[in-house]
Structures are given as C-alpha cells and as structure tokens.
Structure 1
Amino acid sequence: MGHSREAGTIVFSFAVLAVTAGFTLYARSTQTDHGAPRYPLSAEFVSANGLKRGADVDIGGVPVGRVSDIHLDTKTAMAVVRFEVNDTLHFPTDSILSVGSATMSGDNALMIEPGTSQQLTKAGDVLANTREPTSLEQQVSNYIFGNGGLPPE
C-alpha cells in the first residue's frame, strides 16, 4: 500500500518541476528579443546623438521595445532610427519621440510620450514628431534649475 503512494508523490514532484521549468523558460523568453512578437517602426531625428543600437524604447519609463538600427539618410541628412515595439502596444501616431535617459546615470533610450491622435501606429510607420536630444549639460541644468523632471503641479 505504502509503495503506490510514494510513486504518486514522485510523479507529482516531476509534474511540479516540469511546470516550473516551463514557466521559467516562458518568463525568460519574454525578456529576450525572441520572446514577445514586435512590429517595426522608424523615426527621423535631426540628431540621434547618444542613442545606440539595442537601446531600450521606453514609454513612461517602462521598456516596450528595442532600437534595431540607426543610419543616416544621405538625402535629408537626418538620422533614421528603426525600432521594434511589443505587438500588443499601439500608440498614437502623433506621439513625441525623444532621445534621453530617465535617470542621470542610465543609458539613453528612445523615449515615447504618447500623443492624442485617434490614429494608432502600425507596422512600418515612420513617425515624424521627434524632439532634439538634450545635451547632458541641458539635462543637468533642467534638473537643477527646473522642477527635477516632475510635472508642474
């Protein structure tokens, strides 16, 4: 009698391990570039200074994608930034895109401030509402003399 109970416990333990391993793999896959499906977008900047390939794309300080490519459009002398955003996330096409860092020490990210347009982004869109990257000096002085980056009350 005691023998079959032991076998049941072993089978149950293996099932728990399998579920745990499966969940770990799932959680890891959603954190890598191969996990969540993404769709491509691009934006033109006068300067993409400080932005690197592989940089985060942030909305409200939360990473929602990655910069996949940065190149110069030789006709317009604009920096073209290609990036991918999580497939579940479509934001207004008039959103403001800027290069910056949420923290003084962090790496620069492509930051998106959602706009108000009814039209939402779709794969292949080129977003035109871009802002110049502020220099580190400008960021520091805004932080010191401004309101510390907090919205006015």
Structure 2
Amino acid sequence: MKKSILEFWVGLFVLLGAVAVGFLAFRVAGGTSVGSSSGSYTVYADFSDIGGLKAGAPIKAAGVLVGRVSDITLDPQSYQARVSLNLDKQYAFSSDVSAQILTSGLLGEQYIGLMQGGDPENLAAGDTISLTSSALVLENLIGKFMTSFAEKNAGSDDKAAE
C-alpha cells in the first residue's frame, strides 16, 4: 500500500516537471503566453533586404515586445520583401512610424524595431509602414570593407611605382 502511494507521488512529480519544462521551452522558443487574448491588428512593411528575419520574429518598440512577424512574402512587382506585422491592439502607433530590422547582439536573432513618429493620426489595420530600413547584412559589410581596402592599396601601389 505504501509503495503504491509513493509511486503515485513520484509519478505526479515527474508529470508536473515535464509540464513545467514544456512550458519553459515554449516560452523560450518565442511562443505567446497561453492567457493573452487582447487581440492584434496587422500592418505591412516593405524591405529591400530582410537578412535572416523569420516569421514569428519579435517586433519591439523601445525594447518592449509589441507584436510578432506573421508572414514574409516577395512582392512580384517591386521585388521587395513584404512583411506582415501583427501588433498588439493595446499599442497604437502613428501613421509615420518607422520600422527597421535590427539584430540582438552581434550574431543574435533579428527583430523589427519600431520608432514612433509625430503624426497625430494612428496606423489602422491593413496600412503599410512607408519609412523602413533594411537589415544590415554582415557579409555585405565585410565585402564592402575588403573592396575599399583593396582599392586603397592598389592606389598606393600605383603612386609608389611612379
């Protein structure tokens, strides 16, 4: 009898531990909290280069999570990336808000940062953010630096030959 009671409590403890680990894994992976149902609205932003931005990436304003990226598509006319932003309804941004793709740390995850504008009119569902800044791609930056360095050295070699 005592053995079966002990096995019941051990089993219950293991089950609660598994539920806690699952919940923490869900939160770390970027899932939304279970009880948050305040609603959201969708706006769009067009970028020439999104780098490594993925659907589900956070959207932050002043470091505070205000939404998530819901979808990324390629516009067949402009060949720009069209990003769908699901913003929490409790946050109202002005119609001249700017969006830029930022990186957490040197090699961290990419997210969209919103900078509030000064227009008294607010964004509505379905609007497009017109002021955008694309991702800074580290490989492109290194390539530009190397090209500039090579051109500078080639110019100094030509002067030395004269």
Give the TM bin, normalised by the shorter chain: 0.5 to 0.7
**Number of residue pairs matched?**
112
Residues 1:71 and 1:60: Cα distance change in structure 2 (over 3 Å) = same
Higher relative helix content: 2
TM-score by length of 2: 0.61
Q: CA deviation at 1:32?
A: 4.7
Q: Which amino acid aligns with 1:99?
A: I
Contact 2:51/2:136, CA 8 A, preserved across alignment: no
Give the Cα–Cα distance (whole angstroms) in 2 for the partners of residues 80 and 33 of structure 1: 30
Question: Does residue 1:77 correspond to 2:79, yes or no?
Answer: yes
RMSD: 2.5
Residues 1:119 and 1:64: Cα distance change in structure 2 (over 3 Å) = same
> How do 1:2-151 and structure 2 match up within 5 A?
31-32=33-34, 35-136=37-138
Give the Cα–Cα distance (whole angstroms) in 1 for the partners of residues 66 and 74 of structure 2: 24
Q: Deviations over 1:21-73 (max 9, x none)?
A: xxxxxxxx972596331111111111112210000011011111010000000
For structure 2, which runs of at least 5 residues remain unmatched after alignment? 1-30, 142-162
- What secondary structure sits across from 1:104 in the alignment? coil
Give the Cα–Cα distance (whole angstroms) in 2 for the partners of residues 128 and 97 of structure 1: 8
Give the Cα–Cα distance (whole angstroms) in 1 for the partners of residues 68 and 34 of structure 2: 10
Aligned to 1:149: none
- Identity in percent: 29
Give the Cα–Cα distance (whole angstroms) in 2 for the partners of residues 125 and 94 of structure 1: 11
Q: Which amino acid aligns with 2:129?
A: L
Q: CA deviation at 1:122?
A: 1.1
For structure 1, which runs of at least 5 residues remain unmatched after alignment? 1-28, 140-153
Q: Deviations over 1:67-86 (max 9, x none)?
A: 00000001111110001000
